[in-house]
Amino acid sequence: MGRVSKEKKKRVFEIIQIGNKEDGPSRLFDYFIVAVILCNIAVLFLETFDELDAYRPLFKMIENVTVAIFCAEYALRIWTADLLYPEDTRPRAVRRFLFSFDGLVDLLTILPFFFLSGFGAFRILRVARILHLFRINTQYDSFHVITSVVKEKKSAILYSVFIILVLVLAASLSMYSAEHAAQPEVFRNALTGIWWSVSTVFTVGYGDIYPVTLLGRIMGVIITFLGVGAVAIPTGILSAGFVEHYTRLQRMQDAEAYKKSTAAILVEPNSSFSQRTIKELETMHQICTTALIRGDLVVIPEDNVKVQPGDVLIYMRL
């Protein structure tokens, strides 16, 4: 009985795993979950239209059904957590799932339905599950590239964020000094200007708080230019990181392609390679000779070089 239960549990785990293309039921389950997610999010938006009040009971029913499916899936993932983390004990495996990205996303999309009605927007986080489904290669896909670049450049990014934070605080304090006398109700203290400094540094400029004095306007212009440069720092860091990462991946792919297309052959006395020139062999076999090893020597594979028995011919397939 225990063995049958373990086999069922393993089968359930295989089905609910994301992106298992070789397993038909697992693939079908993935598409089913995607449809449920899209229905849930669609209802979330449609409920905000007053013109669709007549369909509100239908929307509520769809919401209840989809959330029930989310709860069932969440329960199954907790039940099979020990198969997801086989190296851990069951309690530790369950804890690892609960605090993993997928576990937290699943929880945040369920809780608002029961306890936090004002936070229904958290259900949009379920879209992350769709992104997981369409991740073709976990090493080269875009999601992995983004996370890898952020991890590699985290020190530089944190440093640039610190610079922006210092600039925001300095701008707030400076604007308070310049504008408090003219607008005491707007710039009441040094921290009141943070809203203005953030919108200015990030070049949003909502216009609800703005300087009216000459000094304040001059400082506003300076801070705006500084903000453009400060915001460009993390952008440049991430852009450089993406270029480095894709260049590294391209080199790896080129090396793999070279390995696959390169071959070596020991020339036997009676083989079709023996006693023929490099040019003849390249024409006959549609290859490109990269090297010719003769004993302890590496012979340059010129067109008129004749291949002898015992030579090792290294070539690439065209």
Query: Any idea where the domains of the chain sit in the sequence?
Result: 2-134, 154-257, 267-317
pTM: 0.53
Q: Average pLDDT in the 102-122 region?
A: 72
Q: Average pLDDT in the 271-290 region?
A: 83
Residue 237 has pLDDT above 50, yes or no: yes
Architecture per CATH, domain 267-317, reads as 2-Layer Sandwich (3.30)
Residue 133 has pLDDT above 60, yes or no: no
The CA distance from 213 to 111, in Å, is 50
Question: Hey, which CATH number is domain 2-134, 1.10.1740, 1.20.1510, 3.30.750, 1.20.120?
Answer: 1.20.120
Q: Which helix (H) or strand (E) holds 248?
A: helix 214-261
> In 23-54, which positions are buried (b, 16+ CB within 10 angstroms) versus exposed (e)?
eeebeebbeebbebbeebbebbeebeeeeeee
The CA distance from 197 to 180, in Å, is 15
Architecture per CATH, domain 154-257, reads as Orthogonal Bundle (1.10)
DSSP 18: T
In single-letter form, the type of residue at position 132 comes to H
Query: Identical fold at 2-134 and 154-257?
Result: no
Q: pLDDT band at residue 255, thresholds of 50, 70 and 90?
A: low
Q: Average pLDDT in the 39-63 region?
A: 86
Structure tokens belonging to residue 155: 């020190």
Q: Helix count (H) and strand count (E) of the chain?
A: 12, 4
Q: What is the pLDDT of residue 136?
A: 43
DSSP 188: -
Q: What is the pLDDT of residue 61?
A: 92
Q: pLDDT band at residue 65, thresholds of 50, 70 and 90?
A: very high
Least-confidence region, from 171-175, 229-233, 301-305: 229-233
Please list, in sequence order, all residues whose beta carbon lies within 8 angstroms of the beta carbon of residue 58, skipping any fewer than 6 positions away.
Answer: none
Average pLDDT, the chain: 80
